[in-house]
Homo-oligomer: A and B are copies of this chain.
Amino acid sequence: MDKQEQILKAALKLFVEFGFHGTPTSRIAQEAGVSNGTLFHYYKTKDELVVALYIYIKSNLAACMSGNRPAGETIKATFKREFIATLYWAKENPMEFRFTQQFLSSPYLSMISIDEIKKQTKHFFDLMQEAIDARVLKPLPLDLLFTLLSSHISGINQYLITSNLDAAKEQELIQTSFDLVWDMIT
């Protein structure tokens, strides 16, 4: 019954369907089952709500990934596990995935502090640096590797969403798409 969360959930749904511009705060409040005043009690402005939603979603994703790297796991296995986990997360949270894409290619992006972005990507940058030091990955700039990987993932995901494969085919694609990108960067 956390009203803050209800508001975020409602905002997510409406933003994905109608865009940022197409969803009035009043409808968000309505969908969340709270009053207009309550919404503005928690989020001083609509922009603040949008940014809060982005950070909320990102930390959800991060929570899915971090924490449990098995001891002795090879670097490749770690990459594969996280690659696949990200794909599954996106598959199971299509609204969150779409919102993130929408947010990242909108002017809202500039409202997020660089520190916040660094914080979110640090885990992954560390992993890539480790892989380069161990001569597993090609010694490309980290930013480039990151961009290549994430655009690959979002591309695959876009495909998974639009073409409805059965579970087996989907499984297969996820596996092979990892191999494709892994060969590319090693």
Report A's interface with B, CB cutoff 8 A. 16-22, 98, 101-102, 104-108, 141, 143-144, 147-148, 150-152, 154-156, 158-159, 162-163, 173, 180-181, 183-185
Contact = CB atoms under 8 A, between A and B. Distances in A.
Contacts of A156: 147-148
A143 B162 contact: yes
Nearest to A17: B107
A16 B108 CA distance: 11
Q: Main secondary structure on chain A at its contact with chain B? A: helix
Nearest to A149: B155
B184 A108 contact: no
Contact of A143 (B104, B141, B159): B159
Given A21-B22, A98-B105, 18 more contacts: A16-B107, A19-B20, A19-B107, A20-B21, A101-B105, A102-B105, A102-B106, A104-B105, A105-B105, A143-B162, A144-B163, A147-B155, A147-B158, A151-B152, A151-B154, A151-B155, A180-B185, A184-B184
